[in-house]
Chains A and B, each alone.
Chain A
């Protein structure tokens, strides 16, 4: 197997894609948004329960490829308990990581650093960021579904 492919489909990513965390609709959600990738049919809904400017609970539902699902799953793990400002900051760093716009290897992103391999596959950036775009829409209270196109 090529090194790049091994980087992309790391064990932890495959594990999250098969057993996604926080894979549920939140009944307590006060923010939610959908994200679509119309080119491949990937579709996620992100649910947020925001209290006092912080994400007290987060969940997601939907379907997509291993990369998009693992990314959504690990996003929910990372962001639980963070303030909305921190969440925006993490997305921004994550975006730089998967698009290869960072010189570091994403150490400050913790577990999310496993997605560094995505930068070698430009066509998969949309997969890795789909749930994050939905998150941002939910944070900003946009009601319309966001699309990667």
Chain B
């Protein structure tokens, strides 16, 4: 009889990223859908919330709820401190130079609209151009269209190749003296393509053009350093970052934010008001009119803390492993075609199936407990580029496992069986 003696190393070593332990932090994952364990693969639409986030919100309402920046009483002081602590955490999370560069907004969409309606309305005139890419989400298209319509400016679109990669040469050719701002997604929600933001910023800055980055999909998936990227604006949503809905962040370089007119008028954004003249508050409050979404900001703070505790690098690695595994497994199924095969990719696996519409894929996968998104993913121009009406999209989060991808593969086989 032999006994296996474990070395101390073996006893103490835990996997660097213990996804099964991490899953215990997310109460919602432990349920059955149609009698099957939930397999949540719709993280590009929204992510689930760890208990720490859920409790931070309810604790705030139980113990600290009060208006901020106003009262001298204890609760208001506590609420203000908790709110501003999140700003400091967000500054570190993005490596912004100052907390004054962190504006709390409702989400990425509002962040982009804010820039279009303030920086854009001030600096973009008739005949000017706004440059975006063919990969953009509607929320990084429509705010610029509205602005261009109002000003008589022109929206230019840099093309992509058949893999879903931005054609950088074509992009550079579109930069010209009329270009007043570049707005690009960091990571495509429809295809998963990671854009070479550093390179894009370098090209634009060489011509003194500022760059806004839509970071809704990138922020939860990779370490973002706005100073290293050198972008001028960076927008993200809390709810895609394992935080609550209704809260997001606009990062902006201080000198740009200082020069921009306010977005909305109201309380908190003013220093003094008379009927003759209003003096606007200093940054970042100039852009935070009215009582903000305090509770969800605090929830976002808990999400950032949670992500920091796991490590963005580890999350990135874990999701890269999932994407590789899924790309091989799903890509190998006859009759399935992957849409978006960029070399630099993360988090998103879009696919179509011969003769089977994505809606039918979605319904049948749901009957197996598997949640995927089907449709155009708010990126209709991307669908048009590939000449398809829609795709099915599996998008991964930090709590997904290889077993769940096995379930997806089995689900796809079932789709083929049902649809004959």
Give A contacts to B, CB under 8 Å: 1-2, 4-5, 8-9, 14, 18, 39-43, 63-69, 121, 123-124, 127
Measured between beta carbons, the chain A residues less than 8 angstroms from B374 are 40
Is there contact, CB below 8 Å, between A40 and B355? no
**Taking CB as reference atom, which chain B residue is nearest A41?**
B389
Given that A9-B418, A41-B390 are known contacts, is A2 also in contact with B367, CB under 8 Å in the complex? yes
Measured between beta carbons, the chain A residues less than 8 angstroms from B150 are none
Measured between beta carbons, the chain B residues less than 8 angstroms from A4 are 367
Given that A8-B363, A63-B389, A65-B357 are known contacts, is A1 also in contact with B376, CB under 8 Å in the complex? no
> A63 vs B360: C-alpha distance in the bound complex, in angstroms?
13
**Taking CB as reference atom, which chain B residue is nearest A127?**
B359
Which of B355, B367, B417 has a CB less than 8 Å from the CB of A18?
B355
Q: A5-B367, A41-B376 are in contact. List 11 more A-B contacts (CB 8 A).
A: A9-B364, A9-B419, A39-B375, A40-B358, A41-B383, A42-B389, A43-B389, A66-B356, A66-B357, A121-B363, A124-B359
Q: Is the interface of B mostly helix, strand, loop or mixed?
A: helix
Is there contact, CB below 8 Å, between A1 and B359? no
- Confirm or deny: B380 has a beta carbon within 8 angstroms of a beta carbon on chain A: yes
Measured between beta carbons, the chain A residues less than 8 angstroms from B359 are 40, 42, 64-65, 67-68, 124, 127
- Confirm or deny: B282 has a beta carbon within 8 angstroms of a beta carbon on chain A: no
> A127 vs B362: C-alpha distance in the bound complex, in angstroms?
13
Given that A40-B390, A41-B376, A43-B389 are known contacts, is A1 also in contact with B358, CB under 8 Å in the complex? no
Measured between beta carbons, the chain B residues less than 8 angstroms from A39 are 375
Is there contact, CB below 8 Å, between A67 and B390? no
Which of A2, A41, A66, A121 has a CB less than 8 Å from the CB of B419?
A66
- Confirm or deny: B34 has a beta carbon within 8 angstroms of a beta carbon on chain A: yes
Measured between beta carbons, the chain A residues less than 8 angstroms from B334 are none
**Taking CB as reference atom, which chain B residue is nearest A39?**
B375
CB distance from B371 to the nearest CB of A (A): 12
Q: Within residues 367 to 420 of chain B, which ones have a CB less than 8 A from any CB in chain A?
A: 367, 374-376, 380, 383, 389-390, 414, 417-420
**Taking CB as reference atom, which chain B residue is nearest A124?**
B363
Give the most central of A42, A65, A121, A127: most B CB within 10 Å: A65
Q: Which 7 A-B pairs have the closest CB atoms?
A: A41-B389, A65-B357, A65-B359, A40-B375, A41-B390, A66-B360, A5-B367
Is there contact, CB below 8 Å, between B389 and A40? yes
Which of B364, B376, B390 has a CB less than 8 Å from the CB of A5?
B364
CB distance from B267 to the nearest CB of A (A): 35
Is there contact, CB below 8 Å, between B357 and A1? no
CB distance from A126 to the nearest CB of B (A): 10
> A65 vs B375: C-alpha distance in the bound complex, in angstroms?
11
Measured between beta carbons, the chain A residues less than 8 angstroms from B420 are 14
Give the most central of A5, A41, A63, A124: most B CB within 10 Å: A41
CB distance from B124 to the nearest CB of A (A): 28
Is there contact, CB below 8 Å, between A5 and B418? yes
Given that A1-B418, A14-B420, A18-B355 are known contacts, is A65 also in contact with B360, CB under 8 Å in the complex? yes
